[in-house]
Structure 1
């Protein structure tokens, strides 16, 4: 859970902006979507290998 402390004289808009930035950097939304269903470790590893191969092929082009 993210905790944002409001400083003296700081506007609500500014606090919300800091919260949104921190939320985006933590990648909380992605983690929540990954937890919706179970993925076997072997499938995760296969996806990582395929992604790495794709990135390498793009670098060579």
Structure 2
């Protein structure tokens, strides 16, 4: 459960923006979408390897140039 304290005199739009940011950081929607359908463990591992190689490539490019 997310609790966003609204300060005295604070604009409701600003509090709503804080709520949305906090909600995105909890990755709740991502979990719900993943639970909708089953993915095989091999497919998940393959996706993790692809992501790891991509991140590694970005880091090496940053170091080189």
TM bracket, shorter-chain basis: 0.5 to 0.7
CA distance in 1, matches of 2:47, 2:60: 20
Matches within 5 A, 1:36-47: 36-47=36-47
Runs of 5+ unmatched residues, structure 2 = none
CA distance in 2, matches of 1:58, 1:22: 27
CA distance in 1, matches of 2:33, 2:47: 16
1:11 aligns with 2:34: no
Runs of 5+ unmatched residues, structure 1 = none
Give the TM-score of the pair, scaled to structure 2. Answer: 0.64
Higher relative contact order (CA 8 A, sep 6+): 1
Matches within 5 A, 1:19-38: 19-38=19-38
CA distance in 1, matches of 2:45, 2:21: 30
Say what the alpha-carbon RMSD is for the aligned residues.
2.1
